Amino acid sequence: MAELLLEIFSEEIPARMQARAADDLKRLATDAMTAAGLTFDSAAAYVTPRRLALVVDGLPLTQPDVTEERRGPRVGAPEQALAGFLKANNLTSIEACEQRDTGKGVFYFLTVEKPGAATQDVLPGLLLEVIQKLPWPKSMNWGDGSFRWVRPIHSIICLFNAQELPGRLDLGGGREIVFADRTKGHRFMARGELVIDNFDDYKAKLKAAKVILDPAERRATILSQAEALAAKAGLTLKQDDGLLDEVTGLVEWPLALMGRIDDAFMDVPPEVLTTSMRAHQKYFALETADGALAPHFIVISNMQPADGGTVIVAGNERVLRARLSDAKFFWDQDRRHTLASRLPALANITFHAKLGTLEDKVSRVRKLAAHLATLIPGADTKVADRAAQLAKADLVTGMVGEFPELQGIMGRYYARHDGESEAVAQAIADHYSPQGPSDRCPTAPNSVALALADKLDTLVGFFAIDEKPTGSKDPYALRRAALGIIRLIVENGLRLPLAAVFAQAGAKPDTVDELIAFFADRLKVAMREQGVRHDLVTAVFALGKEDDLVRLLKRVEALAGFLSSEDGANLLIAYRRAANIVAIEEKKDGRLYVGPASAGTEPAEAELHRGLAVIEGRIAEALKTEDFAAAMGALADLRGPVDSFFDKVTVNAEDAALRENRLKLLATIRDTMNRIADFSKVEG
């Protein structure tokens, strides 16, 4: 068994593309090897800013031998057909073939043994194809070549069983890169080429040349260095996994250094400081013991300077000073004008060509927020209306123009400065939330009213103009908006009738139906992440009148508990049996079996009749009080009478009246259970 090492050495690969590229390289290569009959023990891909590497261990030295069977012409076929088959297979006589009866006639069959090729002969072409197929979000060609890749490639290592493999990557324009056994270390801290023997040698020589190959190791190094620096200064590192991942993709030999933020900038909102540091400079923020932003930052250098980093820190402080000077300018300038004074400018910003301006959207959201405030306990219609009126005003401020990710957040600061109530300011800050599954969900009543109104208006508006998400595209993030609405409703326990709310937002009946179906799909996605079966959500939505998400999920929870019990599982089987019998007989007879049934003639028939009457009453009472667990408990009591009925009663009796009565009883079982959920939608 042998090892394969592949390294593609290039100019800097964008950090955001690195992890996906490593995964794609491993997937494409291992799939190609498997298709070629090459088994292996393990495979791993690594990436740094300047290299993409793959190591595959436990590869065989040769492909396995393959036995191939080829079917020839039918026995007794014309001589011309036989001659063609012999020629195609380099045979001199048909005697080399066996005759076999296939059930459709007797045919000639030839068995061919194909010895496996040497793995070292298979790999070069396979790997060249993998390199050419590697997908990138954006790619380029360079020089006169036609080959496209994310960045210019300088060299390719390709070693198998410690031997250099032959191979040439054609770049076009008469240029090519020949597979070799050498690479380079750190761009600034290592000189010369590294001649590589195998993966262990490769990894060790890279580390000696100031390159940490494994991104997980680089990430851990950055984090430990940054936390140690912070602790030494009596501070804590502000958690930012996204920034940590990005910085890991920017350096090959990380060194954490601490710089200082000028005191003159510390009166600027901390979100502005952290956003500026994060977005433009990739600096980590630090916090004091009480959680306040500290006047320090951590920068990750890709160098290990002789002076310990003094010059690097000074340079980064100088750059940050210029950045924060701009931010402070916007902060000071923006506060010279109230949010209310900025409202006329919203008329000049188009929200969507078919949905009007931002001023139009604000008008719609105000009406909807005020209405929702009457349905949300603790919300105030005047506060919700005022917050909705001002919510988009910060979009025309200088700060949000510079840092769009601070929209809403800056609105809160400016609202406070203008003397607006804290409830209004907080609602403005919260109205874009939640923007994802990990984002905080607002809980303040007025914030919830405004956040719901904003998202509902967007959803209803885009559905009305037929700009709905497709299987692969969702340019207006409507799925995210729906999931945000679901979280706002469910996590705050709001009893909102969705259909009525959609109508209040301006949706026509057909659009309401489409939106309910869309929400059913989104709810399945949201609940699947919490371990809830999607078919149970479907079963409850299928009732057709359930648009209260809190009540719906209570039904789903009770249904899941019921079906996990022995009674529930068995009753589901009985339901299907009853529903199938009724459906078959209704189709055969061309009629529906509905209406009240009698006690019949058999004891088991009478017992089921009595049981259904009692249980229907219990279910009706339980549904009135939304005690779905009690409703399921009532259903569980049906199991005995139903089992007895199927054991002792012949449904398709010769007597037509008896048969009709028994089919009505089965239809009653189906209809009774379907009052709680459509059990025909339950899988398994």
Structure tokens at 130: 């993998």
Spatial separation of the C-alpha atoms in residues 103 and 107, rounded to whole Å: 10
Spatial separation of the C-alpha atoms in residues 628 and 624, rounded to whole Å: 10
Spatial separation of the C-alpha atoms in residues 588 and 582, rounded to whole Å: 10
Alpha-carbon distance values, 578 to 558, 566, 573 (Å): 22, 18, 9
Q: What is the mean pLDDT of residues 30-59?
A: 96
Alpha-carbon distance values, 97 to 40, 69, 111, 641 (Å): 36, 10, 7, 67
- Position of tokens 């209704």? 586
The more confident residue out of 470 and 545 is 470
* Side-chain-facing half-sphere of 374: CA atoms under 13 Å: 8
Is residue 103 scored above 90 in pLDDT? no
Q: Identify residue 51 by its one-letter amino acid code.
A: R
Using one digit for the tens of pLDDT, what is the confidence trace for 485-544?
999 999 999 999 999 999 999 999 999 999 999 999 999 988 888 888 999 999 998 888
Spatial separation of the C-alpha atoms in residues 121 and 460, rounded to whole Å: 60
What percentage of the chain reaches a pLDDT higher than 90? 87
Confidence (pLDDT) at 438? 85
263, 295 in Cβ contact below 8 A?
A: yes
Instruction: Write out the H or E segment, with its range, that includes residue 350.
Output: strand 350-352
For the ranges 110-119, 216-225, 343-352, the lowest mean pLDDT is seen at: 110-119
Residue 450 contacts by C-beta under 8 Å, 6 or more apart in sequence? 365, 369, 384, 387, 388, 391, 427, 428, 430, 431
Q: What is the mean pLDDT of residues 376-381?
A: 97
Spatial separation of the C-alpha atoms in residues 307 and 326, rounded to whole Å: 30
Using one digit for the tens of pLDDT, what is the confidence trace for 171-216?
988 899 999 999 999 999 999 999 999 999 999 999 999 999 999 9
Is residue 273 scored above 90 in pLDDT? yes
Structure tokens at 602: 């058999």
Spatial separation of the C-alpha atoms in residues 177 and 166, rounded to whole Å: 11
Render 630-681 in DSSP notation, one character per residue: HHHHHHHTTHHHHHHHHHH--SS-SSHHHHHHHHHHHHHHHHHHTTT--GGG
Spatial separation of the C-alpha atoms in residues 405 and 582, rounded to whole Å: 59
Label residue 576 exposed, middle or buried (CB < 10 Å: 0-12, 13-18, 19+).
middle
User: What pTM was estimated for this model as a whole?
Assistant: 0.81
Using one digit for the tens of pLDDT, what is the confidence trace for 440-478?
999 999 999 999 999 999 999 999 999 999 888 999 999
Q: What is the mean pLDDT of residues 235-243?
A: 95
Spatial separation of the C-alpha atoms in residues 72 and 99, rounded to whole Å: 10
CA-nearest of 661, 619, 659 to 638 is 619
Angle at 107 between CA 103 and CA 112, to 5 degrees: 120
- Torsion sign over Cα 320, 326, 328, 330: negative
Share in percent of the chain as helix, strand, coil (round to 5): 55, 15, 30
CA-nearest of 12, 8, 11 to 45 is 8
Using one digit for the tens of pLDDT, what is the confidence trace for 580-601?
999 999 999 999 998 899 988 8
What average pLDDT does the chain have?
Answer: 94
Confidence (pLDDT) at 337? 97
Residue 438 contacts by C-beta under 8 Å, 6 or more apart in sequence? none
CA-nearest of 517, 466, 458, 510 to 485 is 458
Instruction: Write out the H or E segment, with its range, that includes residue 424.
Output: helix 422-430
Query: 245-257 b/e with 16+ CB inside 10 Å = b?
Result: bbbbbbbbbbbbb
CA-nearest of 169, 126, 94, 144 to 29 is 126
Using one digit for the tens of pLDDT, what is the confidence trace for 149-178?
999 999 999 999 999 999 999 998 889 999
284, 243 in Cβ contact below 8 A?
A: yes
The backbone torsions φ and ψ at residue 521, rounded to the nearest 5 degrees and listed phi first, read: -65, -45
Confidence (pLDDT) at 486? 95
Confidence (pLDDT) at 280? 85
Using one digit for the tens of pLDDT, what is the confidence trace for 60-96?
999 988 788 889 999 988 989 999 999 998 888 888 8
Q: Identify residue 421 by its one-letter amino acid code.
A: S
The backbone torsions φ and ψ at residue 47, rounded to the nearest 5 degrees and listed phi first, read: -150, 140
Spatial separation of the C-alpha atoms in residues 483 and 502, rounded to whole Å: 15
Is residue 684 scored above 80 in pLDDT? no
Diameter of the chain measured on Cα atoms: 103
- Position of tokens 């290990």? 304
Is residue 231 scored above 90 in pLDDT? yes
Is residue 398 scored above 80 in pLDDT? yes
Which parts of 240-356 fold into alpha helices (H)?
241-248, 270-276, 310-334
